Structures are given as C-alpha cells and as structure tokens.
Structure 1
Amino acid sequence: MIHILIADDDAHIRELLRHYLQEEGYIIFEATDGVEASSCLAKHQIHLAVVDIMMPNKDGYQLCEEIRKYYDFPIILLTAKDQLKDKEKGFSLGTDDYVTKPFEPKELLFRIKALLRRFQMVNADTIKINETVIDRKSYEVHCNGSLLLLPMKEFELLSQLASYPDRIFTREELIVLIWGSDYHGDDRTVDVHIKRLRERFSKRTDDFSIKTVRGIGYKLEAAER
C-alpha cells in the first residue's frame, strides 16, 4: 500500500485530501505542522508527501529540505503563493511539484499518480522514454537503432533529467546531484553539458527534448505518442 503524508495546518484541506486519497486506496498520515510531520516521518514509511509551505513551528520549506536530506520520495508543495520567486525557492530545495491554492482535488490526485509512476522509474536499471532506452548498468543509450556511449557527466545528467520527466531542476541542484556538493567550479558547466546533449540527440530522435525554464533551470519533456 502507498503511504501519503499530508502536512497542512488547515483542517479543511486535510479532510478534503483525506477523502479523495482514501477513495483511491492510499493510506493517509496527517500532520498539522512541520514538527508533527518530522515525527511522522521517523515512525512510518512514507512514499509521497503533500506539504503546505505556510505552517507553524517548522514551515514547508524547512520540511522539504529535511526530507531531501534524509529520505527519498516525491514531494508536492501546496501553497497560496504563486510568485516565481516562491516556486524557485521550492524547486531549489528539492520539491518535485508545486500546486497553488485554491486547487482542484482531482488535479492534485493526477499529479500524485504521475509522481509515483516517475519515482518507480528512478529505481529502475533502465529508463525508457518512448523508443529511447537509457541503461544505467552498462551506461549505454539506445536511440533510434543506434548505440550511444556518452561521457560520464553527460550520461548522469541525462539519466537524472529522464528519471523525472517534467520536473524542473535548478542549475544548483544539478551541480550537487551530478558533480557533488564539493564542486567549486562555475555552475554554467550545466549549460555546457545541456547544450552538448541537445546537439547529440536533436538530429537523432524526437522522443524527448530538454527545455530551459527561464529563471529556474531545466526539465526533460517526453514527446507525446
């Protein structure tokens, strides 16, 4: 069974989400603030968290940062804020999606299901995007009938983006994930590697594209078939 944590100080929001998610067969854990959420995380296995930003004691940003440091599951930030700077901060701390209140519960449910599917891809040995296959064991990419052997950093960058289609990664986040937290070079190295990946695949396949999200970073989009 899938365990979902709802961390929100609004009882009506928790009740609404509980109703919809339990109908889908999910097991729900609730927290009224970030401190309660941290306690819940220590006691139960959680597969996805819906986290409100504006909570007392420990806010959603702090909770998101904690989850990314100690756990490995998707996060959806839930907030009344819709300004770009707030979204940028959320993505820089590692959230996987961002939903602005008021929201349609069914849309949030769709996003939850999509994230859970993507997360299963992360733990797989191979990542398939339409006809392109990324083999994480052999470090090979099979694309349009051809075998590609990418430089290691390009392969790791492609794998990271492909593991979470449509998720936005900041340059800073990609630096830490691919080059490590002790990397002291220019974060524009991400731009250089993205450019090389685009050049390698643009003439080979239209299975996917790597998009620039202005002011934030990059994301990989799979072509609809």
Structure 2
Amino acid sequence: MKDLILVVDDEKDLRDVLKLYLETAGYTVLEAENGIEAIELISKSEVSLMILDIMMPKMDGFELIKKLGEERNFPIIFLSARTKVQDKILGLNLGADDYIEKPFDPGEVLARVMASLRRVKKENIREIKNGNLIWNTEERFIYKDGEKLDLTAKEYKLLSLLMKRPGKVFTKQEIYEFLWEESYYNDDDNTIMVHISKLREKIEENPRGPKKIKTIRGIGYMLEKINEDE
C-alpha cells in the first residue's frame, strides 16, 4: 500500500509541483486549500504524512495542528514563507516534525518527506524500553518492573517525552511549551521542578539521589539511557 501524503496549501501552483514530485516518487497525494478541507480529508483517509502551510484562509496551519491535537498519528512538515525563528519554534513545539522555508527546492521537500516516513516507521513500535521502565505506546501506559505507574496526565506526557529521547537534555522551555502548549517566559513558581519531583517519587529507587531523571544545571533535565540489564 502506498503512503498517502496530504498537501495543505492555498497556492495551487505549489501543490501541483509537489504533487508531481511526490507521485513520481511513488506516493499517493491528496490536496487541500486550507485547514478545514484538510480536517475533512483526514477524517476519511489514512494519511501517512502532511505537508502544511501556515498562512491560509479559513483555518491556518497553526490552528490546524492544534485542532488535530495528540490523536494525530502522522508526521507534519511545515512549508512556510514565515521565516522568523519564533514561528519555527512555535511550529515545532506544536508538534511539527520539520520546517522548510519558502521558496523551496521540491527535491529537498521530497527528501525530507522520505526521511520523516523512514523515521516514523522505525519508531512505530509498540513498546519503548529504558531500564526497568516500559512505555506501551499503543495502550498509553508506562510500567516500572512490570507494574503500571499511576501517572497524572502531565506526568505521563512528561515521562513519555523523556523516554522518546533518553540521553537528550530537554530545556525548561522545551518541557514547559510541550506540557502546556503555550509560550514559556519564566518558571518563577518552579512548576516544572514540582512535576519532575513527583515523577521521581514514582520511578526512582531513591528520589533524593535520582539516577534516572538527571538535572542538568542551568539547562533542564534528561532521562538517563539505561540498558535492560542495568
């Protein structure tokens, strides 16, 4: 079965170019002029990846990605004339997997599409393991030593973020904007630290001397990459 690519952009010439390149590479392509049309197509089709413009009538790209929320199970590549760093950060923090500036090389877009789909297929596994922690991505539960952890929604979201990339340091800004889906200014009330502390109580053998979730001073937090036999 061919991967289905949804191209969402109000410029027909742009959609035509991308459709030509994608279909030549063996993909099936659907087109939408705005976010509202895209939602209708997504409800009827098994989309493998979406190429999404930001500035569109009726419903723009940012609104669409928010509307889809966490239920979305396909990658999104933003394709936009908005080149400000803030726009890129917002797009990526909302859940986009890549961001390409206009004007673009269609060959590069195709390469990015292929890379994103390869990455998704590699990551699309039911269980993610790190030491004695197992995340069942299908059930959306995380287990410690075979016992299901009793996590709040924010704790689950935070731990799943860390488990996706063990060994990666996530800044406080990245964590805050991922959990609350709004811009980070200053965590004066130590909201993130409180959530990290509660999570440590549930997954660490000794929460006062954590070996799983490490604090990287002045930057943020990371989940230590642990082999199964450790």
TM-score tier by shorter-chain length is 0.5 to 0.7
Task: Report Cα offsets for 1:115-168 as digits up to 9, x if no partner.
Answer: 111112332146xxxxxxx6369637xxxxxxxx9xx88974443236xxxxxx
Query: Which one-letter code corresponds to 1:175 in the other structure?
Result: L
| Alpha carbons of structure 1 residues 138 and 199: separation in structure 2 relative to 1, 3 Å | closer
Deviation at 1:199, TM superposition (A): 9.2
Q: What runs of 5+ residues in structure 1 fail to find an aligned partner?
A: 127-133, 141-148, 163-168, 178-183, 205-225
- TM-score (ref. length: structure 1): 0.65
CA distance in 2, matches of 1:97, 1:185: 30
| Alpha carbons of structure 1 residues 101 and 26: separation in structure 2 relative to 1, 3 Å | same
Indicate the structure (1 or 2) with the bigger Cα radius of gyration.
2
| Alpha carbons of structure 1 residues 82 and 69: separation in structure 2 relative to 1, 3 Å | same
- Matching residue of 2:175: 171
Task: Report Cα offsets for 1:56-91 as digits up to 9, x if no partner.
Answer: 000011111122343211001111011111112112
Q: Does 1:160 align with 2:164?
A: yes
| Alpha carbons of structure 1 residues 110 and 198: separation in structure 2 relative to 1, 3 Å | same
- Matching residue of 1:139: 133
| Alpha carbons of structure 1 residues 106 and 135: separation in structure 2 relative to 1, 3 Å | same
Contact 1:33–1:56 (8 Å) recurs in 2: yes
Task: Report Cα offsets for 1:21-63 as digits up to 9, x if no partner.
Answer: 0011100000011111111111111010001001100001111
- Matching residue of 1:113: 114
CA distance in 2, matches of 1:41, 1:98: 21
CA distance in 2, matches of 1:52, 1:160: 27
CA distance in 2, matches of 1:58, 1:119: 27
Aligned-CA RMSD value: 3.5
Report the count of equivalent residues: 175
Q: Secondary structure at the match of 1:170?
A: helix
- TM-score (ref. length: structure 2): 0.63
Contact 1:139–1:155 (8 Å) recurs in 2: no
Contact 2:214–2:224 (8 Å) recurs in 1: no
Q: Secondary structure at the match of 1:103?
A: coil
Q: Secondary structure at the match of 2:103?
A: coil
Task: Report Cα offsets for 1:174-209 as digits up to 9, x if no partner.
Answer: 4369xxxxxx962357999464676956xx9xxxxx
CA distance in 2, matches of 1:41, 1:137: 37
Contact 2:162–2:222 (8 Å) recurs in 1: no
Query: Which one-letter code corresponds to 2:129 in the other structure?
Result: D
| Alpha carbons of structure 1 residues 188 and 23: separation in structure 2 relative to 1, 3 Å | farther
Contact 1:52–1:79 (8 Å) recurs in 2: yes
Contact 1:31–1:37 (8 Å) recurs in 2: yes
CA distance in 2, matches of 1:88, 1:57: 23
Q: Does 1:186 align with 2:191?
A: yes
- Matching residue of 1:9: 10
Query: Which one-letter code corresponds to 1:121 in the other structure?
Result: K
